C-alpha cells in the first residue's frame, strides 16, 4: 500500500514565524509516521489578493499549481497564526482562490475539486497563552464549507516563543505528544476514506 500523501503548510510567510517553525516540526513528525510529506511554503507562490475582475482576466498560473498540489494530497495539516482572534488573510485568500472554478478549463470547472473530501488536521502557535485557539475556531467552519473532513483533535501551542529549542524542535514532550495525536488522527481518517 503506497504511503499516504500529506500536505503540511503554515498560514504565514514571516521569516521567523512560529507557525512556520511548527509546520517544519510537524512535517518531520508526519514523515517519521510513515507518510509521504509535501511541506508547502505559501510564500513561494505568486497569488494576488482575490478579485473577481482579476479572475476574469484569467486565473493566475500559481493558483492552478496550488489547485493541483492540494488536490493530489488526501490529507493536510494546517498551522495557522492568530490575527485579531481569527486566521490570517493569507489563509483566507489561498482558499478563496482554490475554491474558484477556472473559466474555460474543464479539469477545474468544479471549484471544490481541490478541497472536497480532504482530511484536515488543525494546529496553531501563538506567543499568548491560548496558542491561537480562536483562530482555529474560525478556520474549522471555513474548512467544512470547503467540504473537508476536520479531525476532532487539534492542538494550540501556547507560549510558542519559548516552545522551541535552538534547532527549532519542540522542547516539551506534552507538545510533541499533542501534535502527534493530530497526525495520528489525520492518517487514520485519510487511510479509511481513501483506502
Kindly report the number of other CB atoms within 10 A of residue 52's CB atom: 7
The pLDDT > 70 percentage for the chain reads 99
Map residue 72 onto helix, strand or coil.
Answer: helix
Confidence category of residue 8, pLDDT binned at 50, 70, 90: very high
pLDDT of 195 reads 74
Contacts of 192 (CB under 8 A, 6+ apart): none
Name the residue among 179, 194, 193 with its Cα closest to residue 27. 179
pLDDT of 155 reads 98
Of 195 and 145, more confident: 145
Beta strands in 41-118 (DSSP E): 75-80
Considering only the top CATH level, what class is 5-194? alpha beta
Kindly report the number of other CB atoms within 10 A of residue 51's CB atom: 10
pLDDT of 76 reads 98
pLDDT of 1 reads 67
Instruction: State mean pLDDT over 58-64.
Output: 97
Instruction: State mean pLDDT over 128-149.
Output: 97
pLDDT of 2 reads 83
pLDDT of 55 reads 97
What is the torsional sign of CA 143, 144, 149, 151?
A: positive
pLDDT of 88 reads 97
Q: Do 182 and 120 touch, CB atoms closer than 8 A?
A: no
**Residue boundaries of the structural domains of the chain:** 5-194
The pLDDT > 90 percentage for the chain reads 98
Model pLDDT for residues 146-189, shown as the tens digit of each residue = 999 999 999 999 999 999 999 999 999 999 999 999 999 999 99
Which residue(s) pair with 7 in the sheet? 38, 76
Query: What is the rounded CA–CA span in Å between residue 187 and residue 121?
Result: 10
Instruction: State mean pLDDT over 38-42.
Output: 98
Q: Which helix (H) or strand (E) holds 176?
A: helix 173-194
Model pLDDT for residues 86-126, shown as the tens digit of each residue = 999 999 999 999 999 999 999 999 999 999 999 999 999 99
Instruction: State mean pLDDT over 35-64.
Output: 97
Name the residue among 119, 192, 127 with its Cα closest to residue 154. 119
The C-alpha cell of 192 is what?
479509511
Which residue(s) pair with 36 in the sheet? 5
pLDDT of 108 reads 97
Cα three-residue angle 184-127-182, rounded to 5 degrees: 5
Amino acid at each position: 500500500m503506497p504511503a499516504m500523501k500529506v500536505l503540511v503548510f503554515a498560514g504565514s510567510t514571516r521569516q521567523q514565524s512560529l507557525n512556520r517553525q511548527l509546520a517544519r516540526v510537524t512535517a518531520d513528525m508526519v514523515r517519521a509516521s510513515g507518510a509521504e510529506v509535501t511541506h508547502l511554503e505559501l510564500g513561494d507562490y505568486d497569488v494576488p489578493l482575490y478579485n473577481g475582475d482579476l479572475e476574469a482576466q484569467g486565473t493566475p498560473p500559481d493558483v492552478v499549481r496550488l489547485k493541483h498540489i492540494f488536490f493530489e494530497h488526501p490529507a493536510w495539516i494546517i498551522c495557522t497564526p492568530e490575527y485579531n482572534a481569527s486566521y490570517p488573510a493569507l489563509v483566507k485568500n489561498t482558499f478563496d482562490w482554490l475554491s474558484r472554478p477556472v473559466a474555460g478549463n474543464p479539469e477545474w470547472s468544479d471549484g471544490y475539486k481541490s478541497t472536497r473530501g480532504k482530511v484536515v488536521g488543525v494546529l496553531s502557535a501563538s506567543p499568548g497563552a491560548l496558542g491561537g485557539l480562536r483562530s482555529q475556531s474560525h478556520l474549522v467552519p471555513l474548512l467544512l464549507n470547503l467540504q473537508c473532513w476536520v479531525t476532532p483533535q487539534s492542538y494550540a501551542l501556547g507560549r510558542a516563543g519559548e516552545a522551541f529549542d535552538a534547532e527549532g524542535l519542540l522542547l516539551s514532550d506534552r507538545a510533541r505528544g499533542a501534535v502527534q495525536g493530530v497526525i495520528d488522527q489525520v492518517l487514520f481518517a485519510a487511510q479509511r476514506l481513501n483506502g
